[in-house]
Amino acid sequence: MEFFTISMLNGLSYGLLLFMLSSGLTLIFSMMGVLNFAHASFYMLGAYIAYSIARLTGFWPALVVAPLVVGALGALFERTCLRRVHKFGHVPELLITFGLAYVILELVQLVWGRSSLEFQPPEVLRGPAFTLINSSVDGLRLVWGAAPAALCSAADATVRVVCSPFPATRGFMMLIALVMLLALWLMLTRTRIGLVIQSALTHPEMVESLGHNVPRVFMLVFGAGAALAGLAGVIGGSTFITEPAMALSVGSVIFVVVVVGGMGSLTGAFLASVLIGVIQTFAVALDYSVAGLISSLGVKVSAGAADHSLLKLTISQVAPILPYLFLVLILIFRPKGLLGTREG
């Protein structure tokens, strides 16, 4: 029971992180028609820049400053490079963001090295936010913070006690993600600039002919998307791992999220993020083999077949490919994506 709850919460937090990333990607795609291949690179930049700032000033200033820096860099890129390529069509736009991803990866490796960095979350977030204690005698209990060792081990051998901590970093991730998305939603729906952005999402020429500086709006949106990715990077880098490969691993997942959710749909991206986040988190935690899963579904697996390497794989080993399997399945059965509105 507690395993389910904790995993669910972990999955939700990961899904919300994915949504922080894929929402920026979807906004940029909806408005400018360009799928930003370097979006995950901004994620990575956020983590690395925050790491360096945190070494000077601590975590909290880095949390604020790093996304701003990344946002500024994103806006700069839009202004100097992307805008120039806009007139060549969608393929060159995709290519230039692809080139940017390459360049950012190399620059990061150049400046910070190729091995992973010790990017620690701040003191206050290091422990668990709360712990669920499941005792076969006392039932389920919730303890804020870490549970003292005494409560986790049973004096009596017949009593089974399991302590499941929920990391504070994950809780923080959920909090930041929700706050950020609420702020985004408020800005889009309640402010004037948000109104301009919403209309420029579907009719940029019309908005421009009404006198709004649409190129500047594009730059703003691109920068904001990059900043959001950078913020996700600060949290993701300190919670998971900060290394050069983080861009590629998270990058492919958010592209899957965007295609599965339906390109151009924010709600679709939300659904797909949470779905993939939860499924992957559960899958990684499960140690059953694929053969075991199949037989538990009632299908008989012969002894010889069960030995086949494909079926011998545990679900946690298969976990990395689940998003891509999902992608292929969606494409076969529902090519529009879950809530697709706009074609590529």
Q: Which residues bind another protein (CB under 8 A)?
A: 29, 35, 81, 84-85, 88, 90-92, 94-96, 98-100, 102-103, 106-107, 110-111, 113, 248, 252, 255-256, 258-259, 263, 309-310, 313, 317-318, 320-321, 323-325, 327-328, 331-332, 335, 343-344
Closest to another protein by CB, 89 vs 148, is: 89
Listed residue (14, 67, 22) closest to 234, CA to CA? 67
Closest to another protein by CB, 184 vs 266, is: 266
Cα separation of 240 and 253, whole Å?
A: 15
Handedness of CA 10, 16, 20, 26 (dihedral sign): positive
Residue labelled with tokens 């140690």? 287
Closest to another protein by CB, 123 vs 343, is: 343
Q: Which two tokens stand for residue 283?
A: 């899958």
Q: Calculate ∠ Cα 51-57-58, nearest 5°.
A: 65
- Whether the Cβ atoms of residue 260 and residue 338 lie closer than 8 Å to each other: yes
Closest to another protein by CB, 147 vs 259, is: 259
Shortest Cβ 132–another protein spacing (Å):
32
Shortest Cβ 15–another protein spacing (Å):
18
Listed residue (324, 229, 285) closest to 9, CA to CA? 285
Closest to another protein by CB, 63 vs 259, is: 259
- Whether the Cβ atoms of residue 60 and residue 306 lie closer than 8 Å to each other: no
Closest to another protein by CB, 90 vs 141, is: 90
In angstroms and rounded to an integer, the radius of gyration of the C-alpha atoms of the chain is 22
Shortest Cβ 231–another protein spacing (Å):
24
Closest to another protein by CB, 34 vs 176, is: 34
What are the start-end ranges of the E strands in 245-302?
A: none
Shortest Cβ 158–another protein spacing (Å):
41
Closest to another protein by CB, 305 vs 331, is: 331
Q: What is the DSSP string of 89-132?
A: -HHHHHHHHHHHHHHHHHHHHHHH-SS-B--PPPGGGSSEEEEE
- Indicate the helix (H) or strand (E) that contains 23: helix 2-32
Shortest Cβ 1–another protein spacing (Å):
31
Shortest Cβ 99–another protein spacing (Å):
4
CB burial of residue 210 (10 Å; 0-12, 13-18, 19+):
exposed
Shortest Cβ 321–another protein spacing (Å):
4
Q: Which two tokens stand for residue 156?
A: 């009596």
Shortest Cβ 188–another protein spacing (Å):
22
